[in-house]
Amino acid sequence: MKSNAWKVLSAALVLGVAGDGLLRGGDWRLGFAIWIVTVIAAVFVLGGRTTRPALLLLAGMALAAFGFVWRDAEMLYAIDLLSLLCVGALALWYGSGGDFGALTIVETVRAGIIALVNSIGGAVSVVGELTTAADGTATRSSVRALLIGAVLALPPLALVASLLASSDVVFDGVLQRVLTIITSDGLRHLVIITLLAWITTGWLRASMGDGAGRALPHAPSPGLSFTSVAVGLYALIALLGLFVITQARVVFGGAAFLRETAGLTVANYARSGFFQLIFAAVVVLITLVVAQWLMDDDDDAGHLQFTIAGAVLLALVATLLVSAAVRIWLYVSEFGLSADRTFASAGIVWVTGLLITLALTTLRGRPMQFMPVAIAVSVAWVATVNLINPEALVVHVNTSRAAAGQPFDAEYHAKLSADAVHSLVRAAPRLAPADCQRLEVALRRVWAARIAPPPPMKRGDWRSMDLPRMRAEAWHTSSVALCPASVSLAERVAPSPR
């Protein structure tokens, strides 16, 4: 076991040094992705678990890391980062003895706790093994001997270094630079390396099947009767039923009803509320899953009542999602598509997938299948959102609207991430000349500011780059005209030589 501890600690130190270099590029993009892949590779080098679930989890982490390089949008970055953290937590949970066949929503929460325990306390166990002799006694004498030796070595080292520095000007300059690095940058590097090595030590240990969270107790179901959970379920049914009635009045009453009752236009009504509706649907789904876990498994009559109440709630949740989708459609038809509305629509699709999963598993008497299937649905959703490139979809929809005579907001589109630049470059010639020229001026202004990095970063640091940003910067630096016959515009934007 001690040999494994040495391997884990050595690998973690190497990963800490690598992370210190790869994560210093500013944005955590290419450098961060390479570091994550290096951490995954270390699992195989150390001989970690190679079971099918372990391999799938490691593959999921690698795909999430790839998303940091493949897309540039901040929302996609947040989604991919959250996916990486969730899959990494599940990897720690599995290494601590977790079983996907027994994965419940409570066990999922336990997986998050196990991830924290391993990240914070996993290194303690490794260091404890290294400082313990074969007979179980701590090797305090060896540690004390090393400390005494370090103290005794300092005086002659300092004296000899001072004499050599005074004897040679070149060596004195080298020694001064080394001391400057140690006293300034060295301390910062040491803190980052130590922190990264500490975290990866616990993660690597768990990946090898020796997680520090094995001792965490499993939370058994309290075995409540349906009456205990019925209060909340029926209250939600009543609340959502009232909401559905309100929505029906809006649909049939139309714009006149909104103006008379709330003083709203259809646009103002559609613009607000769809994010809240999506979150409300998620809360209801979580409530259903938790309610099923709280109930007694042997209460057949109670589970039948739960199935009926759950089916009613799912129907009402579906109405919530339809209401949110209608609001988005109304606003898009009036003002066009935006990145926020695209991700909100994607969120509706994700929640709908979870709703179908719950109906096919929990409400059909197979609650243990819900979380594994929900994880698979979520992974497929994340991959699909990355594939479709939401901001490119925004450009396609809005440029098509502009070609049909609708207004085009050049300033908004220019401020989108690098994911949209390639689509904008391709679609710009189809815009009206005035819109195309405004878009080109705005794009060049925005990307001139984005390319100029804040000090002390270097321009074009490869560690902070991703593929869309590389293409966007290549377009900007090429000075290729965006609009047909717009060379004069580019000359007009650039300052003339004097």
Residues 356 and 214 in one domain: no
Residues 377 and 244 in one domain: yes
Q: Is the pTM of this model over 0.85?
A: no
Q: What is the DSSP string of 127-168?
A: HHHHTB-TTS-B-HHHHHHHHHHHHHHHHHHHHHHHHHHHH-
Residues 195 and 101 in one domain: yes
State whether the Cα torsion 28-29-31-35 is positive or negative: positive
C-alpha–C-alpha distance, residues 288 and 311, integer Å:
10
Residues 69 and 204 in one domain: yes
Residues 197 and 263 in one domain: no
Q: Is residue 69 part of a domain?
A: yes
For residue 48, give its domain range: 1-150+186-220
Half-sphere exposure (Cβ direction) of 457: Cα atoms closer than 13 Å: 17
Residues 232 and 377 in one domain: yes
Residues 81 and 46 in one domain: yes
C-alpha–C-alpha distance, residues 149 and 43, integer Å:
36
Asked whether the beta carbons of 314 and 256 are under 8 A apart, the reply is no
C-alpha–C-alpha distance, residues 115 and 109, integer Å:
10
Residues 97 and 22 in one domain: yes
Asked whether the beta carbons of 429 and 483 are under 8 A apart, the reply is yes
Q: Is residue 164 part of a domain?
A: no
CA distances from 239 to 232, 250, 282, 355 (A): 10, 17, 15, 19
Residues 215 and 239 in one domain: no
In total, how many domains does the chain have? Answer: 3
Per-residue pLDDT 10s for the chain (498 aa) are 455 777 888 899 999 999 988 988 678 899 999 999 999 999 888 877 678 888 899 999 999 999 999 999 999 999 999 999 999 988 888 887 788 888 888 888 888 888 888 777 777 777 666 666 444 455 556 656 666 776 677 778 778 778 777 787 777 888 787 777 666 666 777 888 888 988 888 888 887 776 655 556 677 788 888 889 999 999 999 999 988 887 776 554 444 544 545 554 555 555 566 778 888 899 999 999 999 989 988 888 888 999 999 999 999 999 888 888 877 887 788 788 999 889 989 999 999 999 999 999 999 888 888 999 999 999 999 999 999 999 999 999 999 999 888 999 999 999 999 999 999 999 999 899 999 999 999 999 999 888 876 554 455 678 888 999 999 988 888 878 888 764 444 444 444 333
DSSP label at residue 295: B
Q: Is residue 161 part of a domain?
A: no
Q: Is residue 169 part of a domain?
A: no
Residues 2 and 28 in one domain: yes
Q: Which of 175, 199, 220 is the last residue of a domain?
A: 220
Q: Which of 338, 356, 388 is the last residue of a domain?
A: 388
Residues 260 and 381 in one domain: yes
Residues 321 and 460 in one domain: no
